[in-house]
Amino acid sequence: MSSAEKIQEIKNVIGSVTLVAVSKTKPISLLQEAYDGGQRIFGENRVQELADKFEALPKDIQWHMIGHLQSNKVKYIAPFVHLIHAVDSESLLKEIQKQALKNNRTIDCLLQVHIAKETNKFGFSAEELLEFISRKDLQNDFPNISFKGLMGMATFSDDQDLVRSEFRTLKSTFDTVKAHFSEDQFTEISMGMSGDYLLAIEEGSTMVRIGSSIFGGR
């Protein structure tokens, strides 16, 4: 099956949930094939690769930065990035604000919550995030950032109960944090990857990030 056919198959299952086709490490030709099949949202986790693919591919693609983002690299994607998924610190927000202003645009962001048991994953803890949100007036402090919602990654595990409970934590954190923003703006919960997206959707995901099930293993 081609990547375009796999995308169609996944879209039939996920319905109105947004599909981010995660194309990291994959060649331009494969992304072009998915594009020709109608896919317009792609996710990458490295700044250089994202910028190179943006240059090489049609300009109506919405590019999502899904990986950990270092402040000193924001400038390379600020002119074109559609959504930054993994915002995990105030200093990163400050840099995104600065670069968004410089480019005279508003950049959409998701705040990353650390929901997994694994310590190698990034993000605010739910407690930290709630504290941060109530201490700050984010929309006022970062006028060129539009806060769209939350993102999280569950533990990489076959334990469905564990993964489900982590997604639940993200959903309930979202429900609490949402009250601090305008309702029509803070709408997205980015959770679910190739191995766990059905579970994620059951628990309220609005956006899934799927790579290997579309493009094959890496």
Ligand X SMILES: *Cc1c(COP(=O)(O)O)cnc(C)c1O
Number of residues interacting with ligand X: please give it, by CB under 6 A: 14
Task: Please enumerate in sequence order all residues whose Cβ is within 8 A of that of 40, keeping only pairs 6 or more positions apart, or say none.
Answer: 60, 61, 62
**Residues 120-179 contacting ligand X, CB under 6 A:** 153
Site string for ligand X, 170-209 (x = CB under 6 A): -----------------------xxx-------------x
% helix, strand, coil for the chain, step of 5: 45, 20, 35
Binding residue (CB under 6 A) for ligand X from 7, 17, 22, 50:
22
CB 10 within 8 A of CB 202: no
DSSP E strands, the chain: 18-22, 41-44, 62-65, 83-87, 107-113, 145-152, 188-190, 207-210
Binding residue (CB under 6 A) for ligand X from 21, 66, 74, 81:
66
* Residue whose CB is nearest to ligand X in the complex, by number: 211
CB 183 within 8 A of CB 175: no
> 46 or 136, CB closer to ligand X?
46
Decide: is 67 part of the binding site for ligand X (CB under 6 A).
yes
> 22 or 177, CB closer to ligand X?
22
Neighbours of 198 (CB within 10 A): 13
> 153 or 179, CB closer to ligand X?
153
For binding to ligand X (CB under 6 A), which residues are involved? 22, 24, 45, 66-67, 153, 193-195, 209-213
